[in-house]
Amino acid sequence: MLRFLIRRSLGAVVILLIISAVTFFLFYAVPRDPATLACGKNCTPDALAVIRKNMGIDEPIPMQYWHFMVGIVAGRQFNVGDCPAPCFGYSFANQDPVWQTILDRFPTTVSLTIGGAVVFLVIGLGAGMIAAWQKGTLIDKAFSSMSLLLSSMQIYFIGPLVLALVVYNLELLDQPKYVPLTQDPVGWFLGLLLPWLVIQIIFTANYTRLSRSSMIEQLQEDHVKAARAKGMSGKYVFFRYAWRGSLIPIVTIFGVDMGSLFGGAMITEWTFSLPGLGTLAVNSVQNTDLPMVMGVMLFAATFIILFNIIVDAAYAFIDPRVRLS
Partner 1 sequence: MWMRFKRDRTGVISACIVLAFFLIAALAPVIAKLYGKDPYTRYGQLRPGLLNENFYPMKPNGGIDGEFWFGLEPGLGRDVFTQLIYGIRTSLSLAIIITLLSVLTAIVIGVVGGYFGGKVDYFLGRFTDLMMSFPNQLFFVAFTPVVAALLVDPRDEMPTWLRACVLIYVMWLLGWMTLARLLRGQTLSLREREFIEAARVAGTPPGRIVRKELLPNLVTPILVQATYMLPNNVTAIAGLSFLGVGLQEPTPDWGRMFATGAEIYQSDITYMFFPGGAMVIFILAFNLLGDSVRDAFDPKSGR
Site residues (CB under 8 A) for partner 1? 15, 18-19, 23, 26-27, 30-32, 36-37, 40-41, 148-149, 151-154, 156-157, 159-161, 163-164, 168, 213, 260, 263-264, 266-267, 270-271, 281-282, 285-286, 288, 293, 296-297, 300-301, 304-305, 308
Which residue lies nearer to partner 1 by CB, 77 or 273?
273
Residue 194: CB minimum distance to partner 1, A: 14
Q: Are 102 and 277 in contact (CB under 8 A)?
A: yes
Answer for the pair 301, 315: CB distance below 8 angstroms, yes or no.
Answer: no
Say how many C-beta atoms besides its own lie within 10 A of residue 219's C-beta: 20
The residue among 227 and 259 lying less far from partner 1, judged by its C-beta, is 259
Pick between residue 19 and residue 324 the one whose CB is nearest to partner 1: 19
Nearest-10 Cα torsion for 8, 9, 13, 14? -20
Report in angstroms how near the CB of residue 209 gets to partner 1 at its nearest.
9
Q: Residue 77, SS3?
A: strand
Identity of the residue, 41 or 230, whose beta carbon is nearer to partner 1 in the bound complex: 41
- Of the two residues 118 and 148, which places its CB atom closer to partner 1 in the complex? 148
Closest CB to partner 1 among residues 16, 232 = 16
Which residues have CB under 8 Å from 275's CB, separation 6+?
105, 108, 178, 269
Minimum separation from the CB atom of position 151 to partner 1 (A): 6
Q: How far is the CB of 182 from partner 1 (least distance, A)?
A: 28
Judged by beta carbon, residue 181 or residue 311, the one nearer partner 1 is 311
Q: In angstroms, rounded to a whole number, what is the distance separating the alpha carbons of residues 185 and 191?
A: 10
CB of 57 to partner 1, least distance (A): 16
Rounded Cα–Cα distance for residues 198 and 164 (Å): 13
Shortest Cβ 82–partner 1 spacing (Å): 28
* Shortest distance (Å) from residue 264 CB to partner 1: 7
At 76, phi and psi to the nearest 5? Answer: -160, 150
Q: What is the CA radius of gyration of the chain?
A: 24
Give alpha helix (H) positions in the chain. 2-28, 34-39, 45-55, 61-74, 98-133, 138-151, 155-162, 185-199, 201-219, 222-229, 234-236, 244-262, 266-271, 277-286, 290-318
The rounded distance, in Å, linking the Cα atoms of 220 and 1 is 32
Residue 125 or 298 with smaller CB distance to partner 1: 298
Nearest distance, CB of residue 35 and partner 1, angstroms: 12
